[in-house]
Copies of this chain bind each other. A is one copy, B any other.
Amino acid sequence: MRIFDITVPVSDSVPVYDGDPRPRIDTVISLENGDAANVSAICCGVHTGTHVDAPSHFISGGRTSADLDLSKLVGACRVIEIAESIDEIGPDELGDISGIERVLFKTKNSSFWNDLSGDFRTDYTSFSPEAAQILADNSIKLVGIDYLSIEKFDSEDFLTHRILLEREIVILECLDLRGIEPGDYEMACLPLKYIGGKGDGSPARTILIKR
């Protein structure tokens, strides 16, 4: 069994989506200060690093990340490679997705993670509303992409997000697919579980498995 970690790490310097809070990791108890142990604390926006979007990210009263169906987050998964020249994935790029439950798109974005501390970039490859509609029509459970948003940067209607989230398709963003060959894998994507109604998304450690 080979395990591939496709998670972009959270750090003080990782790029975050324009306007999102910056992550911080602080030491609150430390051996160096004579305490019995080291204990750190993390503060971050829930769309930091590799993360899921829950329906409540764009839909008032929508399902939160803790309520995402785990059977959507764990199971068979296809990785599709998109040519570097493509800036927006449209219907022509999807290929045959019949029978696929989870799909991750490896684009030019993955190379952005050669620098884990750069500024937020707006020139990422996104996913068109027309392609999102095809995923919705094919009852896809989860779709992933390799930068901080699946939506074109200057979108005003956020239609790709809306089409997917209204159908409760899990959106997985900010993957690092640099080391991943296109093909079929098993995946596990496990977001944090926090309750209290504010979980519009969550950082989610995500792995692919090849047996």
A22 vs chain B, min Cβ distance (A): 10
Does the CB pair A43–B42 fall under 8 Å?
Answer: yes
Does the CB pair B37–A45 fall under 8 Å?
Answer: no
Q: Pick the contact of A3 from B21, B44, B74, B199 — CB < 8 Å?
A: B74
Does the CB pair B203–A190 fall under 8 Å?
Answer: no
Q: Tell yes or no: A100 within 8 A of B by CB.
A: no
Indicate the member of A7, A74, A192, A201 with the most B CB atoms within 10 Å: A192
**Complex interface bits, A66-95 against B, C-beta within 8 A gives 1, otherwise 0:** 100011001100000000000000000000
A209 with B74, Cβ < 8 A, contacts A5-B193, A27-B198, A60-B32 known: yes
Chain B: which residue is nearest A75 at the CB level?
A: B1
A193 with B205, Cβ < 8 A, contacts A57-B39, A200-B40 known: yes
A39 vs chain B, min Cβ distance (A): 6
Q: Tell yes or no: A103 within 8 A of B by CB.
A: no
Does the CB pair B9–A158 fall under 8 Å?
Answer: no
Which residues does A use to contact B, with CB under 8 Å? 1, 3, 5, 7-12, 19-21, 23, 25-29, 31-32, 36-47, 49-50, 56-58, 60, 66, 70-71, 74-75, 116, 158, 161, 188, 190-196, 198-201, 203-207, 209
Given A20-B39, A39-B200, A40-B198, list of 20 further CB < 8 A pairs? A1-B75, A3-B71, A5-B193, A7-B193, A10-B194, A12-B196, A20-B28, A31-B60, A37-B158, A39-B47, A41-B43, A42-B42, A42-B43, A42-B192, A50-B193, A74-B188, A188-B190, A190-B204, A192-B192, A192-B203
